[in-house]
Structure 1
Amino acid sequence: MEEYGSAKEREEGLAPYLSPLGAWGLAVGTAIGWGSFLFTTTHYLEKAGPIGSIIGMLIGMAIMLFICRNYHFLMNAFPSAGGVYSFIKHVFGYDRAFLSFWYVMLAYLAMLWANATAVPIFIRSFFGDALEIGYLYSIFGYKIYAGEVLITMAIILLTGVLCMKRERHAVKFATALTLTFTIGITAVSLAVGGMHLTEPAFTLDPKFIPSEDIFPQILAISLITPWAFIGFENISHSAREFKFSREHSFAVLAASVVTTTALYIFVILLSIGAYPADCTSWLDYLRKLAESNASIKVLPPFYVAYHYLGATGFAVLAVSLLALIITSLIGNTVALSRLFYQVAKDDVLPDRFGDLNARRNPEKAVFLIMIASVGVPLLGRTAVGWIVDVLVICAVIVYGLVSAAAFKLAGERGCRLERFTGLIGMIVMGALGLVQLFP
């Protein structure tokens, strides 16, 4: 592919620093967050059972590999900090690019806010009411405490300062944490499966939800595929910062999708590994949990980890959960800062947000993210949840636009493979969008 951008841009713009491992770490660390982990332990199983969930996830993985190819093609054609925004700008023009900017921004901000406000829930679940100090008010049924607000604000500011002043260290830290939760979840799952697979408590039954047709169960999981993987593409905003050839970007993206899928499947299987004596099956356990509104530490994967591996297995899983929260915070902050940097250079945002500091890092763009996020804890978890609910449709639109751009550009350049993957992406995302809008 041709080099993109002027010599001055390449000399004075964002500096290359991202290794293949670092890119993989950002991609996986952003794709898997608090919500996707918990959904895997409960929602997926309640919708389709273990086998239906696994089949649905594998279908989703296949879909996302097509999207990976489309991103790879466009990242090599337009290696810019804008990601989807830049792709659409050069293929379809500024109007559609501006629209895509809003969808991407909303998606990444929603993930950032969801994971930031998950920190006090994590602390509440594992350490009790330590932060329930200074009751302020309730909003939409969610109690707001000064202690939880302050710790969430501190996490947002700390993440922002780290990404502003020591961004390279932040990415290395995120990569280390991604390796931590990848190894942690994998180790616990394999230990439970390998050591206790023959025990009566370990069973796949019921494999699907009883008394319901199998196909709709699998389809239900496949429909939320974009939500399950949104964030893996965040490295498209760092395409100019790769220390490796962009020709290898498909391998990195594909590896992140496969890793994410494997971790989801491990958590699904782990969640049905055991259940209390007063429950007749893993499904009965989930339904009783839903009725009791129990804390996170008694959710299936934590119960199973403690049941088989004791406090050690429980602790490994808890550390893994905290690690994936932090990686999502860093990954979304890095991606958003690059997006804001690029749109500022195109005069969508004030020019100052397109400035780089001495380390060639968009420090002011990160500051903007901090300002936009620091007040979110005052809204409560319920209000943030409403924003997160739009993630599925945002992801569908973004992936659909990327596929359309790849399809059009591939036609102009005579690239048959990307013409095909772009077409498949458009068809699938169009169908998913219609189902989401008209269920």
Structure 2
Amino acid sequence: MDMRERRKLERSLKPHWVWAIAFGSAIGWGAFVLPTDWISQAGPLGVVTGLLLGAVLMMVIGVSYGFLIEKFPVTGGEFAYAYIGFGRQFAFVAGWFLTLGYICIVALNASALALLTKFLFPDLVRTGNLYTIAGYEVSIIQIAIASLALIAFAILNIRGASFSGQTQFVFSLILIAGIVLLAIGAIIAEGPQIANIRPAFHPEQSTLASILTILAIAPFAYVGFDNIPQAAEEFKFEAKKAFGLIIWSLLAAGLAYSAMILITASTMPWQELLLNISENQSVWGTGDAIESYLGRAGVWIIAVAVCMGIFTGLNGFYISASRLTFAMGRARILPDVFRRLHPKYNTPYVGILFTMLICLIAPWFGREALLWVVDMSSTGVAIAYFFCTATAYKFFSWKETGPDSSRTASPWKKLFSLVGMISALGFLALLLLPLSPASLGKESYIALLIWVALGIVFYAFNARRYNSIERKEMNYLILEKEEI
């Protein structure tokens, strides 16, 4: 193949589809599966405060994303931005960690579908138990459900970005409708009441520790808004609209998370709720909470909503993982096969199939083992946020610039990018420092070290070709322009 060959994706995504890709990916299954886990760590208002503060920090980071998307509307997102600001070696670092984060979230969404089935049809799922990993029973039924979901959404994504965007928007509307119905039920039904959320914060730790515990997971909770830059090359609208889509998707995600936390915690005194879940060894505490005031009808409402969350997560991160690997293949840091496009649908099908094949391994290891890797993937997302904000910081200037300057005079945006950089470093500190209330567990540290080691080996095998390409040619391959 010609080293100058640069294949492009079709412009087919409408604004409301892109919003749905970001919102649906950010919500995913977490808003419906994790509320009781988070409440046990920080108390109801500790979770809500941490998540809303996290959304604000993500919006600050979104200022940098909006600027870079408008200036460089190409697929690849943080990979391209790290290249612009710091060169090809750091671009590989950002791309490598972000690829891990995206693939992990695809796998975890598939496992969440198996978890939902286990809650709704426990006897069926117990059939064919194979073994236990980290206390979690793995059955052939769960493996089959997760695998079928992975295969189905791989096919969906291969069929085209417009098809994926349309379905994503429909899924997102159904998801929002489900949350609204659950909220109305909590207001009019007997049982749920505001008094049940007391104590507002975890009684065994400080208010600050409760908030920081949840704030540390903001990169994981809101990862998905950064799917927007991954699809920038496929926008069927002006790239400057991207910033507004980022803000609205984060606002909607923050409100959706908060609504589900308050709905869950209001069903009964939350410490009693957690005790009941522990004693009954519930596989899905949020489902139990909804069933306590809406009965089986409520379970089916939240089941439909969580299905939509899972579907939007699978769809959105298939899009992002495949676009990121396509961009890295186009830059020649991944094998040439990754820059191939489907002859009929013009989609990066190799990246989609690669993501599917990696994720098909995950259901065999059980949900608990997968959570170790996903906790670690938050580190990769925070690293990507740092490179994006740091690159934007270099573009902005505190003072007026001359007509020949490549920098943009905008002290407020430079301040926002600086705050974004500090926030990204803060997220990393909360995750990596042993004394942090949100520090990674031992298993997650081990998974992180394994991924770093794999990255070093992978880079060593591809570095010669990657580094031999001249600067102007690399600019063209990544950004479609020879000069930055």
Q: Is 1:202–1:272's contact at 8 Å kept on the other side of the alignment?
A: no
Q: Is the 8 A contact 1:44 1:221 kept in 2?
A: yes
Aligned to 1:305: 290
Q: Per-residue displacement from partner, 1:312-355 (whole Å, max 9, x unpaired)? A: 33311111011101111111101111111111111111222212
**Aligned partners of 1:186 and 1:263 also within 8 Å:** no
CA pair 306-220 structure 1, distance change in 2 beyond 3 A: same
Task: Tell me the equivalent position of 1:431.
Answer: 426
Q: CA RMSD, aligned part only? A: 2.2
2:376 paired with 1:390: yes
Residue 317 (str. 1) matches residue 305 (str. 2) = no
Contact kept, 8 Å, 1:112 with 1:329, in 2: the verdict is yes
CA separation of 1:52 and 1:364: change in aligned 2, threshold 3 A: closer
Distance 2:365 2:192 in 1: 46
Amino acid at match of 1:368: F
Tell whether 2:335 aligns with 1:342. no
The correspondence for 1:107, drawn from 101, 106, 129, is 101
Equivalent residue number for residue 247 of structure 1: 240
Q: Per-residue displacement from partner, 1:224-251 (whole Å, max 9, x unpaired)?
A: 2212111221121100111121111111
Match of 1:209 in 2: 202
Partner of 2:70: 76
Paired amino acid for 2:299? F
| Aligned-partner Cα distance in 2 for 1:374–1:212 | 40
Between 1:243-252 and 1:370-379, the stretch displaced more is: 370-379
Q: How does 1:186-335 map to 2 (within 5 A)?
A: 186-193=180-187, 195-196=188-189, 203-210=196-203, 212-275=205-268, 281-296=269-284, 299=285, 301-335=286-320
**1:104 touches 1:394 (CA, 8 Å); kept in 2?**
yes
Cα 1:372–1:383 change in 2 (3 A) is: same
SS at match of 2:183: helix
Matched with 1:422 is 417
Give the corresponding residue for 1:4.
none
Q: Distance in 2 between matches of 1:337 and 1:118?
A: 21
The range that moved more, 136-145 or 125-134, is 136-145
SS at match of 2:12: coil
> In structure 1, what residue type is equivalent to 2:241?
H
Change (3 A) 1:213 1:382: closer
8 Å Cα contact 1:202/1:274 also seen in 2 = no
The CA deviation at 1:156 is 1.1
Give the counterpart letter for 2:105 in structure 1. Answer: M
Farther-moved stretch of structure 1 (407-416 vs 223-232): 407-416
Whether contact under 8 Å (1:84, 1:100) holds in the other structure is: yes
Preserved CA contact (<8 Å) 1:100 1:398: yes
Matched with 1:177 is 171
Give the direction of change, closer, same or farther, for the CA distance of 1:288–1:400 in structure 2 (3 Å limit).
Answer: same
Q: Does residue 1:54 correspond to 2:48, yes or no?
A: yes
Deviation, 1:58, is 2.1
- 8 Å CA contact 1:88–1:405 kept in 2: the answer is yes
1:56 is displaced (CA, Å) by 1.9
State the distance in 2 between where 1:401 and 1:407 align.
10
**Unaligned 5+ runs, structure 2:** 398-406, 437-484
Alignment of 1:75-94 (within 5 A): 75-94=69-88
Structure 1 residue 200 displacement after superposition: 6.0
Change in 2 beyond 3 A, CA 1:232/1:112: same
Paired with 1:147 and 1:274, the residues of 2 have a C-alpha distance of: 32
Spell out, residue by residue over 1:90-123, the C-alpha distance to the aligned partner (whole angstroms, 9 max, x if none): 2211000000011100100110111112222211
Q: Report the residue type matching 1:428 in the other structure.
A: S
Instruction: Give distance in 2, aligned partners of 1:313 and 1:146.
Output: 28
Distance 1:423 1:199, change over 3 A: closer
How many aligned positions are there? Answer: 420
| TM superposition shift of 1:201 | 7.8
From the superposition, tell whether residues 36 and 185 of structure 1 become closer, same or farther in structure 2 (CA, over 3 Å). Answer: closer
- Give the residue type in structure 1 aligned to 2:430: V
What's 2:10 paired with? Answer: 15
CA contact (8 A) 2:138 2:366 kept: yes
Instruction: Give the equivalent residue in structure 1 for 2:479.
Output: none
The answer to whether the aligner puts 1:26 opposite 2:21 as a matched pair is yes
* Contact 1:188-1:317 at 8 Å conserved across structures: yes
Name the TM-score, length of structure 1 as normaliser.
Answer: 0.89
Structure-1 residue corresponding to 2:340: 355
Change (3 A) 1:167 1:19: closer
Structure 1 residue 172: deviation in Å? 1.5
AA aligned opposite 1:206? P
2:388 maps to which residue? 402
Amino acid aligned to 1:43: D
Partner residue in 1 for 2:148:
154
Residue 278 (structure 1) aligns with: none
The aligned residue for residue 3 of structure 1 is none
- Cα 1:136/1:314, change in 2 over 3 Å: closer
Structure 1: 5+ residue runs without aligned partners?
Answer: 1-7, 276-280
Letter in 1 for 2:321: L
Superposed displacement of residue 202, structure 1: 5.4
Paired residues of 2:30 and 2:221 also in contact (CA < 8 A): no
Partner of 2:359: 373
Tell me the distance in 2 between the aligned counterparts of 1:51 and 1:240.
Answer: 40
Change (3 A) 1:200 1:223: closer
CA contact (8 A) 2:60 2:419 kept: yes
Query: Is residue 2:357 matched to residue 1:364?
Result: no
Structure 1 residues 148-168: Cα deviation after superposition (integer angstroms, max 9, x where no partner): 222322221111111112443
Aligned to 2:39: 45
| Partner Cα separation in structure 2 for residue 312 and residue 145 of structure 1 | 27
Match of 2:114 among 101, 117, 120: 120
Greater shift in the superposed pair: 380-389 or 104-113: 380-389
Q: What is the CA-CA distance between 1:210 and the residue it aligns to? A: 2.9
Q: Deviations over 1:26-55 (max 9, x none)?
A: 11111122345322x213322332222222
Shift of the 213–353 alpha-carbon distance from structure 1 to 2, 3 Å rule, reads closer
SS of the residue 2:130 aligns to: strand
